[in-house]
A and B are shown apart, each in its own frame.
Chain A
């Protein structure tokens, strides 16, 4: 299964509006249904949000976060680490249960780890 298929499967299972696998520099590795915004700008923003979250937590002498959640009235953006060099981004309906997502994202991470160099 190639990365594009894995990302599409994740989006479908989670009922996400869009899904993307991004590396920590903010480059898109694979994406499904990302709206017609600049993918590169969007992906750098997501990497920056997670990166800034890590910095903020470590400044407070806490451990780096595994994920960042951005919520608005009509959507929820989940940015979660996948291994040490990548992250997954999911645009989800508001109120999506994170508990239910945990297992799915964990399996996604395992599948992605087998495909990445």
Chain B
């Protein structure tokens, strides 16, 4: 049984702000890559489960969000733990990474999602769609 550590939403937000204060927006790319790494690990341990089901399971069971719905091209997320009210821009970078990786494995082609709506910036939910340049 792997050891786990708990981290609160406030702590996660403090980590994000710390990294932003050091390396500006570049940390968002790193958080995104963290999400991809988490998804890779989950998929490796999923014993052939459908990638989208494995990704959803990772997100819900580990508490990254309250619900995930995959759409035709992307995903919608409710209750993201990466959400931080009053932010100037989208904040759910790790979840974006997780979703990108599982969609990529499912589609068998490169997928890079962008967050086009985020509760951090006043959206009703967090919505992710493929980048045009991906």
Chain A residues in contact with chain B, CB under 8 A? 3, 24-27, 29-30, 40, 43-44, 47-48, 50-52, 54-55, 117
Q: Which residues of B contact A30 (CB under 8 A)?
A: 133
Looking at the assembled complex, report how far the CB atom of A90 sits from the nearest CB atom of chain B, in whole angstroms. Answer: 18
Count of inter-chain pairs, beta carbons less than 8 A: 56
Decide: A40 near B29, CB < 8 A? Known: A48-B23, A52-B22, A55-B22: yes
Dominant secondary structure at the A interface: helix
**Interface hits, B86-130 → A, CB 8 Å:** 93, 112
| In the complex, residue of chain B having the shortest beta-carbon distance to the beta carbon of A38 | B33
| Cα–Cα distance between A27 and B26 once the two chains are bound (Å) | 9
Known: A27-B131, A29-B133, A30-B133. A51 touches B112 (CB 8 A): no
Bin chain B's interface residue count: 10 to 19
User: Are B29 and A47 in touch, CB under 8 angstroms?
Assistant: yes
**B: which residues have CB within 8 A of A?**
21-30, 32-33, 93, 112, 131-133
Q: Once the chains are docked, how many angstroms separate the CA of A40 from the CA of B32?
A: 11
Can you name 13 extra interface pairs (CB under 8 A) apart from A26-B29, A52-B23? A3-B133, A25-B32, A26-B26, A27-B32, A27-B112, A29-B133, A30-B133, A44-B30, A47-B25, A47-B26, A50-B26, A51-B23, A55-B22
For residue B27, which residues in chain A have a CB less than 8 angstroms away from its CB? 48, 51
Q: How far does the Cβ of B116 sit from chain A's closest Cβ, in whole Å?
A: 12
Contact B25 A25, beta carbon cutoff 8 Å:
yes
CB neighbours of A24 from chain B (8 A)? 24-26
